[in-house]
Amino acid sequence: MWWPEGKVCGPCFTVATRTRGICPGCGQDRLLPGPPTPDGGPRCGECAGIPHDFHCTRCGTEGESYRRGTCARCALRDDLTAMLLTDPADPAAMARLVDVLCRADRPESIITWKRSPKVQALLASLAAGTTPLTHEGLDARIGTDGRTVDHLRALLVHHGLLPYRDPYLARFEAWIEDKLRPLAPEVAKPVEQFAKWHHLRRIRSTATPDATARGPVHSAKQEVTETAKFLQWLWDTHHRTAAACTQQDVDEWRASGPTTRKQIKTFFGFARRTRLNTAVDVGSYTARTRPTLAQDQRLAWLRELLTGNSESRPYRVAGILLLLYAQPLVRVAALRTEAITIDPATGQAAITFAERPIPVPGGFAELLRDHLEARPNLRTGVAESPWLFPGTIAGQHLHPNGIMDRLRSLGIELASGRNRALDELVTQMPPPLVADALGYSYQVAFLHASAAAEPWARYAGLRPHP
């Protein structure tokens, strides 16, 4: 390619045809392939004297030519039309699917995605009607390639082609069946009742797009797993069922194993309510120690995350939210951009975790603004994402475990750091104010105040609600 400055190499041409903005020459928002001038930035093709026409011959969009004069979006539509609209079983549904896939902010990513043989097989089965365009139809394909199905399902839900369904809840239902399969019948029946009547019914009633079932499902899996282990041991060792279990059996089990065995407590609460077993009382478990990070270590980590380069910006922001505001990573991952407000006059930033916005210190405010302006993973098939930490799956936020792994790999002790942050906060203001601002219960706030040896609790007006 020859321009007024001479021959342009391939990489430079690619960069030039992907640069957009306000042209300093004509003042229009256009493609800016021309080199910058001493008194301004890159210019549009006409102002730079570049004779090449950068408009798509199909839709007229100005940008990089992808295939024979057409842009990537038009090329993608041609490919999908050939794949999905050549004698489809349901023409209307496939036309909607083509439209959804072509709405991607970066259509090149969908072009790359559909080159996978597994993706092509999935799309072909949808077009032929062998896989219905429903949640149940996609569920049947999970065994072939779960990641491909999850990505497509997320796009369809985000764009309204499928109704919302909590992904964690759906996987939990399948997980229950897998968990029951190897158990003895005498064990499987009470475990199934506990998993479905107690956990599944409760989680179904509370899961919404704004409050996913990730946390409840994680806890439920742990309790169901420990219950199944205990009841299987009870049957194998004493040939007794849940209904015939004695207090001695429970005490023996808990005394001879790790602390995770305490999680059978919920099952026996359920057994008492349903009259399955009213003879057993599993007492509460109290942790012997509470990990706490030294204050100088917490401050050192805050400095590193604020000014260092040991991790990418999103994970630095997440780590600061944990160490500065004592926020659990489950809550950090699910923060929305609307939780951040910036005063246009002063530039002061604030963040809302619960009832009222909290000021953000200057250094962190600057890092937070930079993150908002350049959030990653915004080209996963959706034009906009409400999440402060968008995930790699369309319409979803980063998984808390992913953030946890990245921060732990740095050496940050997460529980210790969060405990220290909350300890410090309740030494600076009354615990009820901290609880209201950060989304904690009054009981938790006063426990941390007690651990920090603060005298707030002696004030009658600040005692926790009964």
Asked if 393 and 379 count as a contact pair (C-beta separation under 8 A), the reply is: no
In which residue are the tokens 């549904």 written? 93
Helix crossing, 117-128 with 72-84: angle to 10°? 50
pLDDT at 284: 64
Q: What pLDDT sits at residue 230? A: 96
Most confident of 206-215, 232-241, 442-451: 232-241
Pick from 464, 442, 446: which is nearest to 455 by CA? 446
Q: In this model, does residue 458 exceed pLDDT 80? A: no
pLDDT class of 442 with cuts at 50, 70, 90: confident
Q: What is the pLDDT of residue 456?
A: 47
In a shared domain, residues 305 and 375: yes
Residues 94, 19 share a domain: no
User: Smallest Cα–Cα separation from 76: which of 131, 120, 114?
Assistant: 114
Instruction: Please name which of 49, 55, 7 lies closest in space to residue 30, comparing C-alpha atoms.
Output: 55
Q: Which of 240, 273, 306 is the last residue of a domain?
A: 273
Q: Is 223 a member of any domain?
A: yes
Is residue 94 helix, strand or coil? helix
- Is residue 55, in this structure, part of any structural domain at all? no
What lies within 8 Å, CB to CB, of 129 at 6+ separation is 88, 89, 90
Mark whether 149 and 177 lie in a shared domain. Answer: no
Least-confidence region, from 180-189, 239-248, 284-293, 436-445: 284-293
Same domain for 360 and 299? yes
Residue 240 has pLDDT above 50, yes or no: yes
| Tens-place pLDDT, residues 28-69 | 999 998 888 777 788 898 888 888 888 999 999 998 888 888
On whether both 322 and 423 belong to a single domain, the answer is yes
Does residue 338 lie in a domain region? yes
Mean pLDDT of 302-322: 93
Flag the least confident range among 150-154, 196-200, 280-284, 419-423. Answer: 280-284
End position of a domain, from candidates 222, 242, 273: 273
Q: Would you call 176 helix, strand, or coil by DSSP?
A: helix
pLDDT, tens only, 118-130: 999 999 999 999 9
When divided into structural domains, the chain yields a total of 4
Same domain, residue pair 348 and 450:
yes
Q: pTM for the complete prediction?
A: 0.63
pLDDT digits (tens, 9 = 90+) for 398-421: 989 899 999 999 999 999 999 999
407: CATH: 1.10.443.10
The sign of the dihedral angle between the CA atoms of 179, 181, 183, 186 is positive
- Classify residue 73: in a domain, yes or no: no
Contacts of 336 (CB under 8 A, 6+ apart): 386, 387, 388
Whether the CB-CB separation of 19 and 3 falls below 8 Å is answered with no
* pLDDT band at residue 466 using 50, 70 and 90 as cut-offs: very low
Residue 412 lies inside a defined structural domain of this protein: yes
3-state secondary structure of 212: coil
Tokens of 286: 């109290």
Do residues 97 and 184 both lie within one domain? no
Of the three residues 273, 303, 323, the one that is the final residue of a domain is 273
Q: How far is CA 154 from CA 127, 138, 161, 162, 346, in A?
A: 18, 11, 10, 9, 39
Distance of CA 30 to the CA centre of its chain: 35
Is 460 a residue whose pLDDT tops 50? Answer: no
- Token readout for 222 is 């742990």
Integer Cα distance of 233 and 249 in angstroms = 10
Cα–Cα distance measured from residue 416 to residue 401, given in angstroms and rounded to the nearest whole number: 17
The helix (run of H) or strand (run of E) holding residue 349 is: strand 349-352
pLDDT score at 463: 44
Q: Residue 251 is encoded by which pair of tokens?
A: 């005490």
Q: What is the pLDDT of residue 166?
A: 85
With H, G, I as helix, E, B as strand and everything else as coil, classify residue 315: helix
Note the helical H segments in 85-213.
91-102, 107-113, 117-128, 135-139, 146-158, 167-180, 185-193, 201-206
The pLDDT score that the predictor gives to residue 215 is 83
One domain for residues 361 and 259: no
String of b and e for 387-417 (b: at least 16 CB within 10 Å)?
Answer: bbbbbebbbbbbbbebbbebbeeeebbbebb
Q: What angle do CA 245, 248, 251 make, to 5 degrees?
A: 105
Q: CA-to-CA distance for 440 and 214, rounded, in angstroms?
A: 19
Q: In the numeric block, which tokens belong to residue 418?
A: 């969060």
Spatial CA neighbour of 462 closest among 423, 429, 440: 429
Residues 138 and 177 in one domain: no
Task: For residues 107 and 193, state if they share a domain.
Answer: no
444 and 320, same structural domain? yes
Residue 182, number of CB atoms within 10 A of its CB: 10
The pLDDT of residue 229 is above 90: yes
Q: Is residue 74 part of a domain?
A: no
Nearest partner of 241 among 186, 181, 280, 194, judged by Cα: 186
Q: Mean pLDDT of all residues in the chain?
A: 87
Is 408 contained in some domain? yes
Residue numbers of the domain that contains 8 = 2-48
Query: How many Å apart are CA 272 and CA 168, to the nearest integer?
Result: 28
pLDDT value for 383: 59
Give phi and psi for 341, each to the nearest 5.
-125, 140
CB-based burial label for 234 (10 Å; 0-12, 13-18, 19+): buried
Residues 414 and 299 in one domain: yes
Q: What pLDDT shows up at residue 305?
A: 94
Nearest residue to 388 via CA among 352, 347, 334, 349 = 334
Q: Could you tell me what percentage of the chain is helix, strand and coil, using 3-state DSSP and rounding each to the nearest 5?
A: 55, 5, 40
Diameter of the chain measured on Cα atoms = 90
| H, E, C per residue of 237-261 | HHCCCCCCCCHHHHHHHHHCCCHHH
Domain contains 68: no
pLDDT number for residue 7: 78
pLDDT at 193 over 90: yes
Under 8 Å CB-to-CB from 417, ≥6 apart: which residues? 293, 298, 301, 322, 323
Average pLDDT over residues 385-398: 86
